[in-house]
């Protein structure tokens, strides 16, 4: 028995469990959206963060990383127990087909039955589902939310860089990250009106320069 898990958010750069193989690729008919609340890592119950989940979208593809866990039932069990604790705000697990980049006009999946954590897009049945919002509103929430594991904007900027590192940047992620940067560059008197105020420390931090020289300022 072999366990495969697809990561499309923080799992891309921080899997956190023991795995045997990592492959960059994509799944079909899903797109990444920032519609899920996080209240215990990058946000709080009073001021939830926005993290990404998947939304069904015919014809779309979502790039990320697939992780393979081999070594028997105990190793797989430990990986799943860790993932279920970490991904507790996702109320569903779906099995998907996983593809890698190739020149074929009719690509075939290299792995089937890959587990992906998703969330039900229903505010009644899923208390963590925030739903869509205007770009500026989402950016304001991401710019100000903070929790035990850090602030929300760091999550977004790390995702932006992770997509760059795997050479599959996503326009939606870039657009949202740039809007957050605009929010952080607002005059101090305007930022003071934004709640919650997550820190008195300057939001400017040392820029990280990737190997291909793109700057991801946070």
Nearest to 27 by CA among 4, 51, 46, 2: 4
Distance CA(151)–CA(41), nearest Å, equals 8
Interacting residues of 153 by C-beta distance below 8 A, sequence separation 6+: 142, 143, 180, 184, 218
The 10 Å CB-count burial string (b at 16+, else e) for 46-76 is: ebbbbbbbbbeeeeeebbbbbbebeeeeebb
Q: Which residues are catalytic?
A: 87
């Amino acid at each position: 028995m072999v366990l495969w898990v697809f990561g499309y958010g923080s799992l891309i750069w921080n899997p956190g469990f023991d795995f045997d193989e990592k492959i960059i690729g994509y799944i079909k008919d899903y797109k990444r959206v920032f519609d899920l609340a996080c209240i215990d890592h990058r946000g709080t119950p009073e001021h939830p963060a926005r993290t990404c989940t998947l939304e069904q979208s015919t014809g779309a593809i979502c790039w990320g990383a697939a992780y393979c866990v081999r070594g028997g039932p105990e190793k797989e069990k430990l990986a799943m127990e860790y993932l279920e604790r970490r991904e507790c705000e996702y109320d569903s697990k779906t099995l998907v087909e996983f593809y890698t980049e190739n020149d074929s006009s009719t690509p075939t999946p290299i792995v089937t039955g890959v587990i992906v954590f998703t969330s039900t897009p229903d505010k009644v049945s899923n208390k963590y589902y925030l739903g869509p919002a205007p770009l500026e509103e989402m950016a304001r929430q991401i710019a100000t939310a903070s929790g035990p594991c850090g602030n929300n904007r760091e999550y977004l900027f790390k995702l932006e860089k992770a997509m760059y590192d795997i050479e599959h940047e996503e326009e939606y992620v870039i657009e949202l990250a740039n809007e957050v940067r605009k929010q952080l560059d607002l005059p101090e008197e305007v930022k003071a009106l934004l709640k919650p105020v997550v820190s008195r420390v300057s939001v400017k931090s040392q820029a990280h320069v990737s190997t291909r020289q793109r700057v991801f300022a946070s």
